């Protein structure tokens, strides 16, 4: 199960550590987690790190600082790393670390935009670190034009969002175009609610939560999402003496002579869910099709109406107004 929090909740959880002077520690943990995720993805996709090209789209705030520090880690691993500064200035410590590690810094301007867009599109990894959880509204000006150009390119490499894709609201999931769709979002401390709610979830790709030390200060989550393993755990496990009636009998009324496939899909879905027994009621031609694809379904023909249906018709004492087969 993924628990998610609003941006306000996460920022409040950070306050005790910030007040204790641990802001730099939190940023280093976040950046290290982001860089590690990029390394793992590159190893999985390319089998090696050497020669990989990374472009960091860095904003002026702490999100940009996370991206620059992560870029410094990657440059130190031998990757050809470029930081595109999207605003006037950048996080000072992050920028200094990036330059010390041998990263190349480019300022985004209208004149430089076509070349930088082409470089980002040809990179193996693009890290989106422009806007963070406190941002409101979307990308503007040259940054918006750059993101549109990369998104519209015939192909581009892996896109990794730092905390959340720029332009996605951390609380609601509302997205202000343009948004660079991420293949992977590396989020810090706890998943942001906007990463699980549409349309933000559509831009987030796979979500990876990196612990940074604020977890014990988080309140009850504002949103939870069940994963596949959670759903499997909710299904009852049949006892040793379980049989079809004790595991539940499901009645299906679906499909028609014009749309017989609906009946087959409904019955197959019921069987896949593990119900003990499935009974189908419908037109003769549709019942024949259900028998063909689902021989374990008990079929009866008839219509659902005042004379042919009563509550509980799917139970073992079958409604005698229908014709069993």
The reported pLDDT for the residue numbered 325 is 39
Distance CA 282, CA 135 (A): 55
Q: Is residue 320 part of a domain?
A: yes
Distance CA 80, CA 96 (A): 17
Compute the average pLDDT of residues 283-308. 85
Domain with 17, as residue range(s), is 2-231
The reported pLDDT for the residue numbered 302 is 81
Q: Mean of the per-residue pLDDT values for the chain?
A: 90
Distance CA 37, CA 183 (A): 12
The reported pLDDT for the residue numbered 247 is 86
Q: Is residue 205 part of a domain?
A: yes
Q: Is the pLDDT assigned to residue 314 strictly greater than 70?
A: no
Q: Of the candidates 53, 25, 44, which has an alpha carbon nearest to the alpha carbon of residue 127? A: 53
Q: Residue 86's domain is classified under what CATH number? A: 3.40.50.10260
Supply angle C-alpha 34, 40, 41, rounded to 5: 90
Which of helix, strand or coil describes residue 22?
coil
pLDDT tens sequence across 36-56: 999 999 999 888 888 899 999
Q: Is residue 237 part of a domain?
A: no
The reported pLDDT for the residue numbered 26 is 97
Q: Is the pLDDT assigned to residue 145 strictly greater than 70?
A: yes
Compute the average pLDDT of residues 265-281. 93
As for how many domains the chain has, the answer is 2
The reported pLDDT for the residue numbered 312 is 56
Q: Is residue 309 part of a domain?
A: yes
Q: Is residue 154 part of a domain?
A: yes
The reported pLDDT for the residue numbered 197 is 93
Residue 242 tokens read as 């379980």
The pTM of this model reads 0.79
Q: Is residue 236 part of a domain?
A: no
pLDDT tens sequence across 223-244: 888 877 887 777 778 888 888 8
Identify whether the C-beta of residue 71 lies closer than 8 Å to the C-beta of residue 81.
yes
Same domain for 214 and 301?
no
Q: Is the pLDDT assigned to residue 324 strictly greater than 50?
A: no
């Amino acid at each position: 199960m993924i628990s998610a929090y609003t941006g306000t909740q996460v920022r409040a959880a950070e306050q005790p550590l910030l007040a204790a002077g641990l802001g730099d520690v939190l940023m280093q943990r976040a950046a290290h987690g982001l860089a590690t995720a990029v390394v793992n993805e590159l190893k999985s996709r390319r089998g090696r790190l050497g020669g990989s090209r990374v472009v960091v789209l860095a904003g002026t705030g702490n999100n940009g600082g996370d991206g620059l520090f992560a870029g410094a880690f990657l440059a130190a691993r031998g990757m050809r790393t470029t930081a595109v500064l999207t605003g006037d200035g950048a996080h000072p410590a992050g920028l200094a670390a990036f330059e010390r590690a041998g990263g190349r810094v480019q300022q985004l301007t209208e004149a430089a935009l076509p070349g930088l867009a082409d470089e980002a599109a040809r990179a193996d990894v693009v890290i989106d670190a422009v806007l963070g959880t406190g941002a409101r509204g979307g990308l503007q000006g040259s940054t918006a034009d750059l993101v549109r150009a990369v998104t519209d390119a015939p192909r581009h490499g892996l896109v990794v969002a730092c905390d959340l894709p720029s332009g996605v609201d951390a609380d609601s999931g509302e997205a202000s175009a343009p948004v660079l769709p991420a293949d992977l979002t590396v989020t810090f401390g706890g998943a942001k609610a906007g990463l699980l709610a549409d349309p933000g979830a559509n831009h987030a790709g796979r979500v990876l939560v990196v612990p940074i030390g604020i977890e014990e200060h988080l309140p009850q989550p504002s949103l939870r999402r069940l994963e596949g393993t959670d759903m499997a755990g909710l299904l009852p496990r049949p006892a040793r003496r379980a049989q079809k009636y004790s595991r539940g009998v499901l009645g299906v009324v679906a499909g028609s002579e014009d749309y017989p496939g609906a009946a087959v899909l409904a019955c197959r879905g019921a069987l896949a869910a593990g119900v003990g027994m499935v009974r189908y009621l419908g037109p003769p031609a549709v019942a024949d099709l259900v028998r063909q694809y689902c021989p374990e379904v008990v079929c009866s023909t008839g219509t659902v109406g005042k004379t042919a249906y009563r509550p509980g018709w799917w139970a073992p004492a079958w409604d005698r107004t229908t014709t069993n087969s």
